[in-house]
């Protein structure tokens, strides 16, 4: 596998993103981070450790892919949040935005629950694959249309634990 983004590069960018997010919420009490499982778990863990203590968090799970490398276009809702997001500042934490279908669906659901604000941070974006227009306020890296694994991202549930992001050879 070819390394696309090494661990040090990812860590440096995650710290920058954490700083950007905190600067955008200057005088609010709390930023409620909503991690999209499973892929977002490592990114979330590093991101929140680079932020101050006014962070709270919850987890949600949707799945849009089968076990292969192509999106099915279907989004399934697997696990809901545990607490209400009404009137809170919400930041969705995703590993990757590809077609945008998953994020679009998630944003619609969360927006219907009347948060005070709703923003999204994605570590990776593949703009050439986008099928729907979806707002992403913070993007770590824009990448080409290659199937990537590591740092939370899997191929058939493997490679999520890699500290770097690699291109899976076809």
Q: Which residues bind ligand PRP (CB under 6 A)?
A: 36-39, 63-65, 71, 94-103, 154
Q: Which is nearer to ligand PRP, 49 or 76 (CB)?
A: 76
Query: How many other CB atoms sit within 10 Å of the CB of residue 97?
Result: 22
Question: Which burial class, exposed, middle or buried, applies to 136 when counting CB atoms under 10 A from its CB (0-12, 13-18, 19+)?
Answer: middle
Given 46, 95, 98, 154, the catalytic residue? 98
At closest approach, how far in Å is the CB of 16 from ligand PRP?
21
Q: Which is nearer to ligand PRP, 13 or 25 (CB)?
A: 13
Compute CA 30 distance to the chain's CA centroid, rounded to the nearest angstrom: 19
Distance CA 94, CA 103 (A): 8
Q: Which is nearer to ligand PRP, 64 or 117 (CB)?
A: 64
- Does 58 qualify as catalytic in the annotation? no
At closest approach, how far in Å is the CB of 26 from ligand PRP?
29
Token pair recorded at residue 67: 């076990």
* Residues assigned a catalytic role: 98
């Amino acid at each position: 596998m070819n390394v696309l983004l090494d661990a040090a590069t990812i860590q440096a960018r995650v710290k920058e993103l954490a700083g950007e997010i905190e600067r955008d919420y200057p005088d609010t009490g709390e930023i409620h981070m909503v991690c999209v499982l499973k892929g977002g778990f490592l990114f979330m863990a590093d991101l929140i450790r680079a932020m101050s203590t006014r962070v709270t968090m919850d987890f949600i799970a949707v799945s849009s892919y089968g076990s292969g490398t192509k999106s099915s276009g279907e989004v399934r809702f697997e696990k809901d949040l545990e607490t209400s997001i009404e009137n809170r500042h919400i930041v969705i934490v995703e590993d990757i935005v590809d077609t945008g279908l998953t994020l679009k669906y998630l944003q619609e659901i969360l927006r219907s629950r009347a948060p005070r604000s709703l923003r999204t941070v994605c570590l990776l974006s593949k703009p050439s694959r986008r099928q729907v227009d979806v707002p992403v306020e913070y993007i770590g890296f824009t990448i080409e249309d290659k199937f990537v694994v590591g740092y939370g991202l899997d191929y058939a549930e493997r490679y999520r634990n890699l500290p770097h992001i690699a291109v899976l050879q076809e």
